[in-house]
């Protein structure tokens, strides 16, 4: 961190650490079991090629938008508004913010589930004791962040380095334990697992790949703190390459040491269970400690991102103006308070969930699909118009390919999510529109255009269908 007392600046290394710290959270520790349930190595290769390729194009979209639209310094939300108007922009920031809040809930669930392997009182992370302990943690982090963004960002950089070490050690141990015969036996699906089509196997992995890639936009969200604007795009690509390599290795190597059916039956965090099967009980303890460091670090990074996104929308009056204000430490305190109140409510709600971690993981992914789609669509719109390409027309064709693939990929993700989670997302989008109405009334501005009325009605109808599905038991959580 460098800069004057009034404005702090992040270096390329700190921005990259923000991306890596945001992406490496709870998801990577759950990959062996999640992929083991869905597919074998053959399907996993295809799944990672699609997910990695799709998210690489998203990374390139964030990079080109950061370079070509430097005035849009709120990342995900700002691009949606610039491309499609006020209400779609609001839905983008709302979805991204709520999705990030739910992602923070999944961190607490996994922390308590991890402790539950050693202390049964925590269960699978949604017992009364687990909820109480998580609640204490939420507010401890809250008051730490209130002391200053620069302190939290510095802690995040240290934690990011610390949490990568256990993952690297896990990978090295499994490389030495690699059994070619076991990998071949699992390659086409393994014994004792259901026979499903390759398409269904890939589709079953899509939401978890979205979850583990969330954070790729972390540098873009914090672009106003960048020391050099070009560092935003560079940090995005660097973070993507590092984390993708780690995730692919963590997914593929367990197939070479254990039968797929055994991997699929493990409790979460499955990375700890895999290492325990290879080296003994100390492996579970070692990975569990790494997970706790990783998840707490990711929670810190995402708490910063949640507050920053809501604050940026408040500063541009797309959310109520109060959320754009800061305390004496230049922390968006009202935005942070609302964020942690929402996180607290979702943590309490996990008590009634049958599989709280899976629900939070999938819902986090779905809430982020609409914002990601709008970013990709805005990138495509920018390229097709030729806007900002007057001096570099030779780059337009390349960027047209990247943005086009990103749009197709995000549309496929929305399809892969399935109707259940889209309806659950609508239940959160519809009441959240109250914040949009509040902001519009503050400005004495027109609430909806004719097209925006259509969007709002569609969201409201979907929410009503979702609520009916929950009431009748058609949709279960």
> Tens digit of pLDDT for each residue in 422-437?
899 899 999 999 999 9
* pLDDT of 230 strictly over 60: yes
Q: Compare 183 and 68 and report the one with higher pLDDT.
A: 183
pLDDT band at 93 (very low <50, low <70, confident <90, very high): confident
Q: Compare 181 and 18 and report the one with higher pLDDT.
A: 181
What are the φ and ψ backbone dihedral angles of 12, each rounded to 5 degrees?
-60, -40
Q: What is the 3-state secondary structure (H, E, C) of the chain?
A: CEEECCEEEECHHHHHHHHHHHHCCCHHHHHHHHHHHHCCHHHHHHHHHHHHHHHHHHHHHHHHHHHHCCCCCCCHHHHHHHHHCHHHHHHHHHHHHHHHHHHHHHHHHHHHHHHHCCCHHHCCCCCHHHHHHHHHHHHHHHHHHCCCHHHHHHHHHHHHHHHHHHHHHHHHHHHHCCCHHHHHHHHCCCCCCCCCCHHHHHHHHHHHHHHHHCCCCHHHHCHHHECCCHHHHHHHHHHHHHHHHHHHHHHHHHHHCCCHHHHHCCCCCHHHHHHHHHHCHHHHHHHHHHHHHHHHHHHHHHHHHHHHHHHHHHHCCCCCHHHHCCCCCCCCHHHHHHHHHHHHHHHHHHHHCCCHHHHHHHHHHHHHHHHHHHHHHHHHHHHHHCCCCCCCHHHHHHHHHHHHHHHHHHHHHHHHHCHHHHHHHHHHHHHHHHHHHHHHHHHCCCCCCHHHHHHHHHHHHHHHHHHHHHHHCCCCC
- Please, which residues have CB within 8 angstroms of residue 437's CB and are 6 or more apart in sequence? 447
Spatial contact of 219 and 236, defined as CB atoms under 8 Å apart: yes
pLDDT band at 68 (very low <50, low <70, confident <90, very high): confident
Query: Which pLDDT score, from 0 to 100, does residue 407 have?
Result: 93
pLDDT band at 7 (very low <50, low <70, confident <90, very high): very low
* pLDDT of 125 strictly over 70: yes
- 321-337 pLDDT per residue, tens: 999 888 887 788 899 99
* pLDDT of 254 strictly over 90: yes
* pLDDT of 150 strictly over 60: no
* pLDDT above 70 as % of the chain: 89
- 444-461 pLDDT per residue, tens: 888 888 899 999 999 999
- 291-331 pLDDT per residue, tens: 787 777 778 777 877 888 888 888 888 889 999 888 887 78
Segment 194-215 mean pLDDT: 81
Which long-range CB contacts under 8 A does 469-473 form with residues at least 24 apart?
A: 469/420, 469/423, 470/427
Q: Compare 408 and 4 and report the one with higher pLDDT.
A: 408
What are the φ and ψ backbone dihedral angles of 192, each rounded to 5 degrees?
80, 10
pLDDT band at 11 (very low <50, low <70, confident <90, very high): confident
- Please, which residues have CB within 8 angstroms of residue 331's CB and are 6 or more apart in sequence? 145, 146, 147, 148, 149, 307
Query: Which pLDDT score, from 0 to 100, does residue 463 have?
Result: 93
Segment 180-191 mean pLDDT: 87
* pLDDT of 412 strictly over 60: yes
The Cα–Cα gap between 229 and 236 comes to: 12
Average pLDDT value over all residues in the chain: 83
* pLDDT above 90 as % of the chain: 21
The Cα–Cα gap between 198 and 323 comes to: 46
- 349-370 pLDDT per residue, tens: 888 777 777 788 788 888 888 8
- Please, which residues have CB within 8 angstroms of residue 32's CB and are 6 or more apart in sequence? 250, 251, 254, 263, 266, 270, 271, 273, 274
Give me the sign of the Cα torsion angle 365, 368, 372, 374.
positive
Of 219, 249, 206, residue with least CA distance to 55: 206
pLDDT band at 6 (very low <50, low <70, confident <90, very high): very low
Q: Which of 62-71, 285-294, 314-323 has the highest mean pLDDT?
A: 314-323
Segment 45-57 mean pLDDT: 88
Query: Which pLDDT score, from 0 to 100, does residue 366 have?
Result: 86
Q: Compare 375 and 144 and report the one with higher pLDDT.
A: 375
């Amino acid at each position: 961190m460098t800069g004057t007392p009034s404005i702090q600046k992040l270096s390329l290394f700190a921005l990259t650490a923000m991306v890596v710290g945001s992406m490496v959270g709870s998801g990577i520790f759950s990959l062996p079991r999640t992929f083991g349930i869905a597919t074998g190595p053959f399907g996993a290769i295809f799944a990672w090629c699609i997910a990695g390729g799709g998210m690489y194009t998203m990374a390139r979209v964030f990079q080109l938008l950061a370079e070509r639209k430097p005035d849009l310094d709120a990342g995900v939300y700002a691009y949606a508004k610039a491309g499609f108007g006020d209400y779609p922009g609001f839905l983008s920031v709302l979805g991204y913010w709520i999705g990030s809040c739910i992602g923070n809930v999944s961190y607490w669930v996994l922390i308590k589930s991890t402790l539950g392997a050693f202390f049964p009182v925590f269960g699978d992370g949604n017992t009364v004791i687990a909820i109480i302990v998580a609640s204490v943690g939420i507010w401890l982090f809250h008051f730490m962040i209130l002391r200053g963004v620069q302190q939290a960002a510095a802690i995040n950089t240290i934690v990011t380095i610390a949490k990568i070490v256990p993952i690297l050690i896990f990978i090295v141990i499994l490389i030495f334990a690699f059994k070619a015969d076991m990998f071949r036996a699992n390659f086409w699906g393994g014994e004792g697992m259901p026979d499903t089509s390759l398409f269904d196997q890939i589709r079953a992995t899509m939401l978890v790949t979205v979850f583990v890639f969330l954070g790729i936009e972390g540098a873009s969200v914090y672009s106003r703190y960048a020391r050099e604007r070009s560092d935003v795009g560079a940090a995005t690509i660097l973070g993507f390459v590092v984390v993708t390599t780690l995730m692919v290795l963590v997914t593929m190597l367990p197939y070479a040491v254990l039968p797929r059916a055994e991997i699929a039956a493990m409790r979460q965090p499955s990375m700890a269970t895999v290492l325990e099967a290879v080296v003994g009980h100390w492996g579970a303890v070692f990975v569990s400690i790494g997970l706790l460091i990783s998840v707490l670090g990711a929670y810190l990074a995402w708490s910063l991102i949640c507050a920053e996104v809501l604050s940026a929308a408040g500063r541009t009056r797309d959310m109520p103006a109060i959320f754009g204000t800061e305390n004496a430490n230049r922390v968006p305190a009202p935005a942070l308070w609302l964020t942690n109140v929402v996180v607290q409510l979702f943590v309490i709600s996990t008590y009634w969930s049958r599989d709280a971690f899976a629900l939070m993981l999938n819902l986090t992914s779905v809430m982020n699909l609409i914002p990601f789609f709008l970013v990709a669509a805005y990138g495509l719109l920018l390229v097709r118009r030729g806007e900002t390409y007057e001096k570099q027309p030779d780059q337009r064709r390349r960027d047209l390919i990247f943005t086009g693939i990103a749009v197709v990929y995000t549309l496929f993700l929305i399809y892969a999510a399935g109707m259940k989670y889209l309806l659950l997302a609508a239940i959160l989008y519809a009441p959240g529109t109250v914040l949009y109405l509040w902001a519009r009334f503050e400005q004495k501005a027109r609430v909806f255009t004719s097209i925006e009325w259509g969007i709002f009605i569609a969201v409201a109808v979907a929410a009503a269908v979702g609520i009916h599905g929950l009431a009748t038991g058609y949709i279960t959580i």
